[in-house]
């Protein structure tokens, strides 16, 4: 694939990178990072048409989970978490909840991150027994501060979102929410550099 990315750093080993090299990279980062919401939406679209044996396809399930949370009055950050909770189904075949949690972690509260990271274990209550597993695996978190929050997510929004007749708002409805939630990280390894960049731009 032909790459068009001028100007570029010139090092062949990072050890030899200069301030000028890293200015090239830092300058390219801003526009790339601002397109993150578009990449998130493109990745959600990959879930379309793949049912995996479920009654609705994976995109419909995600949209319906978000719709239920939205209609129930949950705030924007929560709704976006609901929308993305199964975005990892494509690449995280064995750890899909972790994939969603990692993508959301810089942008959401610790409570919402924990809820998404653990939703698969909580949801297992409905079907782990059919796979020869312990359906009560989630009980190890009974005393955790986010147990009730995660249980509510599963019971009210995730588990009921397999209804082909149920209300399913389109991805375009949620696009502005994705744009706002993914606009700026609350926490990141690069937070100091990002803050300085913001001050310089102001
Ligand atoms: Fe899931
Ligand atoms: Fe789900």
Token representation of residue 27: 């300058």
Crossing angle of the two packed helices 76-84 and 110-117, in degrees rounded to 10: 20
Give me the pLDDT at residue 201, please.
Answer: 59
The model's pTM: 0.93
Confidence at residue 202, expressed as pLDDT on a 0 to 100 scale = 56
CB atoms inside a 10 Å sphere around CB 70:
22
85 Cα to the center of ligand 2, angstroms: 6
Cα 133 to ligand 1 centre (Å): 17
Q: Measure the CA–CA gap between 136 and 182, rounded to whole angstroms.
A: 34
User: What CATH topology corresponds to 36-181?
Assistant: Hypothetical protein af1432 (1.10.3210)
Which ligand has its closest atom nearest to the C-alpha of 160? Answer: 2
Residues with CB under 5 A from ligand 1 (ion): 86
CB 124 within 8 A of CB 159: no
What would the two tokens of residue 46 be?
Answer: 């990959």
User: Does the pLDDT at position 6 exceed 90?
Assistant: no
Residue with tokens 């048409």: 49
Q: For residues 194 and 188, is the Cβ–Cβ distance under 8 A?
A: yes
Would you state the pLDDT for residue 124? 97
Domain-wise residue ranges, the chain: 36-181
In the reported structure, the alpha carbon of residue 157 is separated from the centroid of ligand 1 by a whole-number distance in angstroms of 11
Give residue 86 CA to ligand 2 midpoint distance, Å.
Answer: 5
184, exposed or middle or buried, with CB in 10 Å at 0-12, 13-18, 19+? middle
Q: 118-132 in b/e burial notation, b at 16+ Cβ within 10 A?
A: bbbbbbbbeebeeee
Query: Rounded to whole angstroms, how far apart are CA atoms 202 and 200?
Result: 6
Q: What's the rounded Cα separation, in Å, for the pair 84 and 93?
A: 15
> Would you place residue 4 in the very low, low, confident or very high pLDDT band (cuts 50, 70, 90)?
low
Q: How far is the CA of 14 from the centre of ligand 1 (A)?
A: 38
34-82: per-residue pLDDT in tens? 999 999 999 999 999 999 999 999 999 999 999 999 999 999 999 999 9
Ligand nearest the Cα atom of residue 115: 1
Confidence of residue 3 (pLDDT cuts 50, 70, 90): low
DSSP calls for 66-104: HHHHHHTT--HHHHHHHHHTTGGGTT-TTTHHHHHHHHH
Give me 190's structure tokens. 């690069």
Ligand 2 geometric centre to CA of 180 (Å) = 23
pLDDT reading at 199 higher than 90: no
Residue whose tokens read 């695996």: 137
């Amino acid at each position: 694939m032909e790459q068009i990315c001028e100007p570029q750093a010139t090092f062949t080993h990072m050890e030899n990178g200069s301030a000028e090299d890293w200015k090239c990279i830092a300058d390219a980062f801003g526009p790339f990072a601002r397109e993150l919401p578009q990449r998130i939406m493109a990745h959600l679209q990959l879930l379309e048409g793949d049912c995996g044996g479920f009654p609705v396809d994976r995109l419909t399930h995600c949209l319906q989970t978000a719709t239920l949370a939205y209609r129930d009055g949950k705030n924007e950050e929560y709704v976006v978490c609901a929308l993305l909770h199964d975005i990892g189904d494509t690449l995280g075949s064995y750890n899909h909840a972790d994939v969603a949690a990692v993508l959301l972690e810089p942008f959401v509260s610790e409570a919402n991150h924990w809820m998404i990271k653990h939703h698969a274990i909580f949801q297992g209550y409905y079907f782990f027994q059919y796979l020869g597993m312990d359906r009560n695996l989630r009980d190890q978190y009974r005393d955790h501060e986010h147990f009730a929050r995660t249980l509510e997510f599963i019971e009210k929004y995730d588990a009921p979102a397999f209804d082909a007749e149920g209300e399913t708002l389109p991805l375009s409805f949620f696009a502005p929410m994705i744009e706002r939630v993914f606009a700026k990280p609350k926490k990141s390894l690069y937070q100091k550099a990002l803050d300085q960049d913001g001050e310089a731009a102001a």
